[in-house]
Chain A
Amino acid sequence: RKEVEQDPGPFNVPEGATVAFNCTYSNSASQSFFWYRQDCRKEPKLLMSVYSSGNEDGRFTAQLNRASQYISLLIRDSKLSDSATYLCVVAPSSGNTPLVFGKGTRLSVIA
């Protein structure tokens, strides 16, 4: 089983749609969770951290379920500029092993 698994995608949605991405992780000791965004042929950039209490940043909402080892990202009112690959990222409790990335889910928002 891969350490971080994501929906395979791609997701093709119309502008204004709501889209949800799911991610599961295998290391139950993991402590930090993130969603990164990566545009085509660019570097990954932090979109948001994910907390057990859930967190929201504008149109983006992230949720963490530790019991199920499950992370989600919800994007409301999709914009054309949201088109990118979304990477689910996990960091274990130990500082010696860095970020573990999922394969990524590609989102295309179409007019």
Chain B
Amino acid sequence: GVTQSPTHLIKTRGQQVTLRCSSQSGHNTVSWYQQALGQGPQFIFQYYEKEERGRGNFPDRFSARQFPNYSSELNVNALLLGDSALYLCASSFGEVGDTEAFFGQGTRLTVV
């Protein structure tokens, strides 16, 4: 399945954080979502075959990349209190919407 690390993280305002995602075997698309408490997941990035295919309405403090083995990292710089959320990674084969997306268990980020 899809695995994310770490599962929980506490950071201080202004710090930087890197979240990691290992996609399901055979999957070439990875998407990142941010889910604030009581809200649905909001799209951040999508990578397909190691190229960025979509970016949500997030500031430039957010960046991501996909590696040759299709794993992915999400980086957030200059953390704000409002960045506290559950960060979800989803992998699929082909472009999302065509096949089922499988989510990792998420990384719960708390910014203090």
Contacts and interface: CB of A to CB of B under 8 A. Distances in A.
B83 interface: no
Contact of A96 (B42, B46, B94): B46
Given A42-B105, A102-B40, A95 B98 contact: yes
A91 B88 contact: no
Interface residues on A, range: 20 to 34
Given A96-B53, A97-B54, A98-B43, A43 B106 contact: yes
Interface in A6-59: 31-32, 41-46
B80 interface: no
B54 A98 contact: yes
A63 to B, nearest CB: 19
A100 interface: yes
Interface residues on B, range: 20 to 34
B97 A44 contact: no
B70 interface: no
Given A43-B106, A44-B88, A98 B46 contact: yes
Contacts of B104: 43
The 9 A-B pairs with the shortest beta carbon distances in the complex, nearest first, are A95-B95, A91-B97, A101-B40, A43-B103, A98-B96, A32-B97, A103-B40, A101-B41, A98-B31
Interface of A: 4, 31-32, 41-46, 87, 91-93, 95-104
